[in-house]
Amino acid sequence: MDDEKRLERLLVRYQDGKISRRTFLGLLAAAGASVGLIGGPFNRAALAAGAKQIHYDGWGGIVSAAFEKYAFKPFEKKTGITVISGTFGNADQYLARVKASQPGEYNIAHLSGVFDYVRYYDLGLGSVLNESNIPNLQYVIKSLETPLRKISKGKLSAVPYDYGTTGLAYNRKYISDEEIRQKGAKILIDPKYKGKIGGWGEWKTRIWYAALQTSQNPNDIKDMNAVWDAIRKNRDLVLKYWSSGAELMSLLANEEIYVTEAWSGRIAALQQQGKDIGYYDPPGGLGWQECLFVMKGSPMQACEELLNYTLRPEVAIAIAEGQNYPPSLDPTKVKLSKKVESLPAFDPTGTLDKLNFFDPTYWNRHQSDWSAKFSRIEKGF
């Protein structure tokens, strides 16, 4: 009885905001372990804590703003469950934070669909969603869902949420549509634009585009020396490697750079602001999907309720319009808005068969060596 009262007092302190979620979970685990509690008040306290709030992390900027406005605030009002929204810019750094955290500290993350899904699942960080609690999953494009199920043995730890491309963005004042189509990915290693080239400082994207610049299949590279040489050439020409969508948009809008590979939705946002920025997906250009991944140890029922809410067609369409990335909703099942249909990368067929994606097995196999090698090259070695 004393143990139960102690846990109940701990829960009250947490719900009153007197201790943080991290502190609460740590004290809860310690208290439960010290008295040998596995069920009873320990589980009831953990369930109650989880039902009160969900910790979400995303990419920040217009993406997180869209989720906040169209999903999280209405969801909080409807359910009484608070969504604590955080941001990250570097996927590898965020994964390090998650690995160092306590179970339940992080709940839902807006991750790169297949590549990060494999990493998180293989590290034992995945949950198992109860799909009966997510009926709006019926509207999702199956070609986005299938590769996730293949990884997690038919189950899901996440729901696919949006997709886009990493193509070439260019200032039409200095670079014509004809030139960008003629040079393609090789424009990023053209000395003509030295000091006016940008790039995302992320190893996978740098290697993918270097493979295109050396006429290789990015998912089956035969000559890595040529790839590293192309990356060094690009490094010597770039003004800087950008690290966030906001920085990408600023560099282009202020004409600090004229050309860079870029995320389709961020360029759509610039175009909507009246900036004369062109966008082109070169042959072999990179497509991607993103998912809402639920971490192991999260309050599952609350998380599933939030996932289902975000997949409501009216909510998903509003978020898509806000963040400028097509939703995962199948356009053959759901009537999408004209704005969504006009977004870069949108596929009216719902098949996505014209997009090129990372082969997760191939890229994860090389992740350790290639990311370390790129880091050295980025530093000038």
The alpha-helical segments, DSSP class H, found in the chain are 2-15, 21-34, 40-52, 61-67, 73-79, 91-99, 113-122, 142-151, 177-183, 203-213, 224-237, 245-253, 264-272, 300-310, 313-323, 338-341, 360-378
Cα–Cα distance, 284 to 260 (Å, whole number): 16
Q: Is 19 exposed, middle or buried (CB count within 10 Å of its CB: 0-12, 13-18, 19+)?
A: middle
Over residues 42-80, the pLDDT tens digits come to 443 444 444 589 999 998 888 899 999 999 999 999 999
Over residues 311-337, the pLDDT tens digits come to 999 999 999 999 999 999 999 999 999
According to the model, what pLDDT value does residue 46 have?
Answer: 47
Cα–Cα distance, 34 to 30 (Å, whole number): 6
Structure tokens that stand for 229 in this block: 């040489």
DSSP secondary structure of 150-207: HHTTT--SEEEEEEEEEEEEEETTTS-HHHHHHHGGGGGG-GGGTTSEEEE--HHHHH
According to the model, what pLDDT value does residue 38 have?
Answer: 39
According to the model, what pLDDT value does residue 369 have?
Answer: 97
Residues of the chain below pLDDT 50: 1, 15-16, 33-50
Decide if 66 contacts 85 (C-beta within 8 A).
no
Decide if 42 contacts 28 (C-beta within 8 A).
yes
Cα–Cα distance, 224 to 6 (Å, whole number): 60
Q: Tell me if domain 49-163+290-341 and domain 164-287+360-378 are identical in fold.
A: yes
Domain ranges of the chain: 2-38, 49-163+290-341, 164-287+360-378
Superfamily of domain 49-163+290-341: Periplasmic binding protein-like II (3.40.190.10)
According to the model, what pLDDT value does residue 361 have?
Answer: 87
Over residues 144-176, the pLDDT tens digits come to 999 999 999 999 999 999 999 999 999 999 999
215 vs 102, 129, 283, CA distance in Å?
45, 41, 10
Cα–Cα distance, 325 to 113 (Å, whole number): 14
According to the model, what pLDDT value does residue 79 have?
Answer: 94
Superfamily of domain 164-287+360-378: Periplasmic binding protein-like II (3.40.190.10)
Q: Is 104 left (phi over 0), alpha (psi -120 to 50) or beta?
A: left
Decide if 57 contacts 86 (C-beta within 8 A).
yes
pTM beyond 0.85: no
Helix (H, G, I), strand (E, B) or coil at 39: coil
According to the model, what pLDDT value does residue 13 have?
Answer: 57
Where is 311: in which H helix or E strand? none
